Chains A and B, each alone.
Chain A
Amino acid sequence: MATVTYDHVTKRFESIVAVNDFNLMIPDKEFLVLVGPSGCGKSTALRLLAGLEEITEGNVYIGDRLVNQIPAKDRDIAMVFQSYALYPHMSVHDNMAFGLTLRKTPKEEIGRRVHEAAQILGIEDLLKRKPRQLSGGQRQRVALGRAIVRDPAVFLLDEPLSNLDAKLRVQTRAEISKLHQRLGTTFIYVTHDQVEAMTMATRIAVMKDGLLQQVGSPQDLYDQPHNTFVAGFIGSPAMNFFQATVKGQREEMHLDTGGFRVPVPASRVNDLLPYLGKEVIFGIRPENVHDQEYQPPNIEAAPVTAMVDVTELMGNEIFLHLVEGGKPFLARVDPRTRARPGQEVRVAFDMARMHAFDSETEKAIGPSEER
């Protein structure tokens, strides 16, 4: 049980800055997901905490203890690797017991803890096998089991699901969440998959180019992204962006993309007033673009006519790839839609759910603004 604190942590590999002035406080028992595109420094941030990389600047604390100089094995953490890193010459039992054996835990205690962990993960009948005799999913469980038996203060998981097939990944995702609830320990989880982040996290920390972009609950990040990167990264399919000019006073205020014009809702007029006559980035998620025929009630609908490029049926909905004024965008609409490729369709933007970003800083304007 422990909090984890990154205090202005920087990591440089020669001239490359992998992690830049990283500041984050992770409370006890939290499930924090570090997410970002590959090469954003998320794994490095995790490895700095694990003690596998040396910190260039700044401090890392586990609980109240400064761990910069403490070797990895004494940090009271356990890590699950993407490759699982099982010891191939040892049985599953010995793999799980390895850490305890090195720490000279009494034999009965080791046996008890290994069996307990195996029971939690449902791998009791595999204990005598070697890793090469296991399937990918089973290896993944053994890797988790090896971490569990150590009973660490903090669990670190570095893309543990990347090597599983899609179905197993969904299943294991739920199991890891359950495990977190059951163990009541701090989990720090690294992934490039925003779906994993959204489904598992108590809080998500989004990184890009070594910089922390935004930290918050999955819902916060989804509803109020601080910048275009977070807005585009969280949510699938990604948010649509348009370059638009703010025009018109007060009730007349609207956004002109060149191709179409949409009115700014009254609630957002004050935010956009300083940008009158200037360019902004207008963002709207595909799920807030509806087929006008099937648009839900109580939305601030702004009609737009667009050309249908491609339709993708998902079963419960249809993705429409639309083009308006040479600009492609995506809509998630009711499956009953009559839109067909090559034809025009009338869609409605739900302007209450609009996002606006400064076109120079790419930072959010209005309620999502960084505080």
Chain B
Amino acid sequence: MARQNPSTPNGSTVAAAPLTLALRTGRRLAGRVPLHLALIGLMLLWSIPTIALLVSSFREATAIASSGWWNAIKEPLDLTVDNYQRVLEKQGMARAFFNSVIITVPSTVLVILVAAWAAYAFAWMKFPARNLLFLLMVALLVVPVQMTLIPVLRLYTDVTVDAELPILGGRIFGTSSFVGMWVAHTAYGLPFAIYLLRNFFGSLPRDLFESAYLDGASDLGVFFRIVLPLSMPAISALAIFQFLWVWNDLLVALILLGDPNLAPMTLKISNLVSSFGTNYQVLTAAAFVSMTLPLIIFFALQRYFVQGILSGAVKG
């Protein structure tokens, strides 16, 4: 029902309010359109290689050789899973995938465990030469991996334990052993991990720790009940970084793993390149297999990146 007297100041403001609101919302949306278009454009541009890889991995060898990957859109029925079958069954990629998991998961977990303890001590416990030790730790960040390869290899050869590791295979320790890979990757990952976590732990409010001490918590209690739950964003970020580094590592595996049965996927794919030359279809499928797990890990943990878990700890 229209108002009887629209000229009253009261009536006009009430009628005008939704209109201005709608206008303002419209203007705000319009302002965002160019930004969103730019973002979508960039995203597509960045995704093209991956999409090309994915599409090619489902095409036959002749198709790949004769036409570009975008032609697959015209003939979607010509796609095939043969490449994946071949890679997984005949090229031993399934075993390599398994090896990659065996190498990567413990190397990631170990780094987080050790680094979290160390970072807590560096951030909150008082001991002599704390800052000096931390500085040395950070200084290790600039040592290139390549410089350490030969000394580590010589050391591993000297201390090789030449008995077979049950279940997983390979030696117990030294070259061609999973344990050796875990230790190496953990050691390479620690400086950055400790640096990252110490800075995050150090930024937690001191009052929280003191409050927990007064509540009766020990250092261990504070670590497990306060620090770890609050540090999930940093720890998951670290987990993703470390996982990707180890998963994508070719160099360390190439040097320290002599036994082809223990080779992770990176090593396997690089061998495929040399033995198959131009057989792209196998390479694309193999590459995509090696991407699946990192993608899953990333999507599983990405919400911790954005979650501001600290809000509400202290007034702010």
Interface residues of A (CB under 8 A from B): 50-52, 71-73, 77-79, 81-89, 98-99, 102-103, 130-134, 136, 139, 146, 150, 163
Contacts and interface: CB of A to CB of B under 8 A. Distances in A.
B212 A98 contact: yes
Contacts of B230: 88-89
Contacts of A85: 205, 207-208, 210-211, 313-314
A53 to B, nearest CB: 10
Nearest to A71: B213
Given A88-B310, A132-B311, A81 B211 contact: yes
Interface string B203-225: 00101101111111100010001
A178 B271 CA distance: 78
Given A89-B229, A89-B309, A73 B205 contact: no
B312 interface: yes
A99 B215 contact: yes
B216 A99 contact: yes
A73 B312 contact: no
B214 A87 contact: no
B226 interface: yes
Interface in B153-204: none
Nearest to A139: B315
A102 B216 contact: yes
Contacts, number: 83
A246 B315 CA distance: 53
B216 to A, nearest CB: 4
A82 B205 CA distance: 12
A352 B15 CA distance: 67
B10 to A, nearest CB: 31
Interface size class of B (residues with CB under 8 A): 20 to 34
B315 A87 contact: no
Contacts of B309: 88-89
B214 A72 contact: yes
Nearest to A83: B314
Given A87-B226, A99-B214, 20 more contacts: A71-B213, A72-B213, A73-B213, A73-B216, A79-B210, A81-B211, A84-B314, A84-B315, A86-B313, A87-B211, A88-B309, A89-B229, A98-B217, A99-B216, A102-B216, A102-B217, A102-B221, A130-B312, A139-B315, A146-B211
B165 to A, nearest CB: 39
B203 to A, nearest CB: 13
Given A85-B314, A89-B230, A132-B311, A78 B214 contact: yes
Contacts of B310: 88
Contact of B214 (A50, A82, A139): A50
A87 B221 contact: no
Nearest to B232: A89
A134 B310 CA distance: 14
A87 B217 contact: no
Interface in B227-285: 229-230
Contact of A81 (B207, B217, B226): B207
Contacts of B210: 50, 52, 72, 79, 81, 85
A79 B213 CA distance: 11
B227 to A, nearest CB: 11
Contact of B315 (A52, A83, A150): A83
Contacts of A86: 312-314
Given A88-B313, A134-B312, A163-B315, A83 B207 contact: yes
A134 B311 CA distance: 11
Contacts of A73: 213-217
17 contacts: A50-B214, A52-B210, A71-B213, A73-B215, A79-B211, A83-B207, A83-B314, A83-B315, A84-B207, A85-B208, A85-B210, A86-B313, A87-B212, A88-B230, A88-B310, A88-B312, A102-B215
B312 A131 contact: yes
Contacts of B212: 87, 98
Nearest to B230: A89
B205 A83 contact: yes
Interface in B289-316: 309-315
Given A102-B221, A130-B312, A131-B312, A87 B213 contact: no
Contacts of A71: 213
A132 B230 CA distance: 13
Contacts of B226: 87
A32 B229 CA distance: 37
Contacts of B205: 83, 85
Contacts of A131: 312-313
B217 to A, nearest CB: 6
Nearest to A98: B215
Contact of B311 (A50, A79, A88): A88
Nearest to B209: A85
A132 B214 contact: no
Contacts of A103: 216
A87 B208 contact: yes
Nearest to B310: A88
Nearest to B311: A132
B217 A132 contact: no
Contacts of A89: 229-230, 309
A307 to B, nearest CB: 45
Given A85-B210, A87-B226, A133 B312 contact: yes
Contacts of B312: 86, 88, 130-134, 139
A146 B208 CA distance: 13
Nearest to B211: A85
